[in-house]
């Protein structure tokens, strides 16, 4: 059974940083592209970033480019999202997702971790 | 990267069919056959229902079908059931190796 378990969500001040983690199991993590998708309270889904299986090729939404960094440790079956220069617009539930293809679609999702940016 | 355009809400009675539209541009829906649809119940994670315009993942009911014409993709749900009441999101691969979602459609089963 595929399982994705996010952690690291917290209350952080504007301008601060946070690192999210996603522990994966039940599939060959090292062969799968992985992604982060977020959802602001009461709003729709927004793709944030995808990292390919090789851990080298990454893709970002314009809204986070230069502030967020996606990475992975295939030896630990873990996906990360380093978030810097956080602003109120980054407040959201952050979902870890497994990509069925190179970049999408997302066939398995975690339950999410909440990031709140507020002073 | 503007969101794909979906109606805010649709409704239907049990047993009826409904269709949700999703409109994009030549840089996303119109340029690629990589449209997906997700179902999200309140407080739950999204679930993939359709990928590559019209393919259903294993385990998804054949009451769900997808299509595309030009810049508009559509999700049709036939034989509506109470459990289908949820939010539905379309998404598309877009130029520049990005992914764009629609704003979401709330389906109400009357």
**A1-15 pLDDT, tens digit each:** 999 999 999 999 999
pLDDT reported for residue B2: 83
Query: Which residue from B71, B38, B66 is spatially nearest to B53, judged by alpha carbons?
Result: B66
Kind of pairing between the strands at B9-12 and B105-109:
parallel
Residue B46 touches chain A, beta carbons under 8 Å = yes
- Best to test chain A binding among B49, B55, B98 (most A CBs inside 10 Å): B98
Residue B48 has pLDDT above 90, yes or no: yes
User: Is residue A44 pLDDT above 80, yes or no?
Assistant: yes
Closest-CA residue of B relative to A46 is B101
- Residue B55: closest C-alpha in chain A: A105
pLDDT confidence of residue B1: 67
Taking an 8 Å cut-off on Cβ atoms, the answer to whether A47 and B34 are in contact is no
The DSSP line for A22-83 is EEEESS-GGGS-EEEEEE-TTS-EEEEEEE-TTSS-EEE-TTTTTTEEEEEETTTTEEEEEE
Model confidence pLDDT, tens digit, residues A48-106: 999 999 999 999 999 999 999 999 999 999 999 999 999 999 999 999 999 999 999 99
In the stretch 6-45 of chain B, residues with CB closer than 8 A to chain A read 34, 36, 38, 40, 45
Query: Does A17 have pLDDT greater than 90?
Result: yes
- Residue A40: closest C-alpha in chain B: B103
* Option in B1, B52, B103 nearest A61 (CB): B1
């Amino acid at each position: 059974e595929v399982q994705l378990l996010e952690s690291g969500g917290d209350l952080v001040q504007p301008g601060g940083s946070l690192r999210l983690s996603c522990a994966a199991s039940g599939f060959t993590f090292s062969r799968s592209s992985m992604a982060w998708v977020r959802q602001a309270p009461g709003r729709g889904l927004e793709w944030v970033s995808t990292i390919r299986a090789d851990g080298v090729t990454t893709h970002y939404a314009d809204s986070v480019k230069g502030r967020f960094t996606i990475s992975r440790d295939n030896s630990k079956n873990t996906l990360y999202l380093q978030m810097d220069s956080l602003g109120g617009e980054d407040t959201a539930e952050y979902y870890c997702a497994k990509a069925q293809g190179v970049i999408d679609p997302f066939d398995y999702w975690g339950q999410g971790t909440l990031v709140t940016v507020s002073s | 990267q503007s969101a794909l355009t979906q109606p805010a809400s649709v409704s239907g009675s049990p047993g009826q069919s409904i269709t949700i539209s999703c409109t994009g541009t030549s840089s996303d829906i119109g340029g690629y056959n990589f449209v997906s649809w997700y179902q999200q119940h309140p407080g739950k994670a999204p679930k993939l229902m359709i990928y590559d315009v019209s393919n259903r993942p294993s385990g998804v009911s054949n009451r769900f079908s997808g299509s595309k014409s030009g810049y508009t993709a559509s999700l049709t749900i036939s034989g509506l059931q109470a459990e289908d009441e949820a939010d539905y999101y379309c998404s598309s691969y877009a130029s520049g190796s990005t992914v764009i979602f629609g704003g979401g459609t709330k389906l109400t089963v009357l």
